Amino acid sequence: MTNPVFDSRSATSFATGPEDGSDRFGANVMPFGSVCGAPKGGPDTAHQIVNTGDKPLKYSWISTQHDPDVVEYPESGKYVAIAIAPGESFMQAHLLVVGRVHDSLDYWEGENA
């Protein structure tokens, strides 16, 4: 991951190996090798795994994988809205929107109300 991310619907947890790196939660940096839980929420629960070494970083990740889901990237101001079903993966999602929060439209724009 390049930027911290937080989910509006999914909770995630992960365990990391002894390699060089850090686990970031909001403003806190956890020691590498921790077992962490990242609940759904806002910028205070944003999580990020950073590889600070020169070898590939190995970690295990478990997620509730709620569908649909909205993921926000607080440092870049981006979000992803995704609905995978009936597809099998992120790349086969039938709805995938990547945008910026400040580029939002009015709800009624383009509607015949």
pLDDT at 18 over 50: yes
Residues 99-112 have a mean pLDDT of 85
DSSP-derived letter for residue 88 is S
Contact criterion met (CB below 8 Å) for 77 and 102: yes
Q: What pLDDT was estimated at residue 11?
A: 53
Pair of tokens at residue 12: 């995630």
Angstrom distance (rounded) from CA 76 to CA 41: 17
pLDDT tens digits along 26-49: 787 877 777 777 777 788 878 887
pLDDT value at residue 102:
83
Taking the complete model, does pTM exceed 0.95, yes or no?
A: no
* Edge-first strand listing for the sheet containing 47-51: 28-30, 21-25, 47-51
**Residues 75 and 100: beta-carbon distance below 8 Å:** no
CA proximity to 49, closest of 35, 66, 39: 35
**What does the pLDDT look like over 47-97, one tens digit per residue?**
887 787 787 777 777 777 677 888 888 888 888 888 877 667 767 777 888
* Alpha-carbon span 28 to 64, nearest angstrom: 23
DSSP 3-state of 16: strand
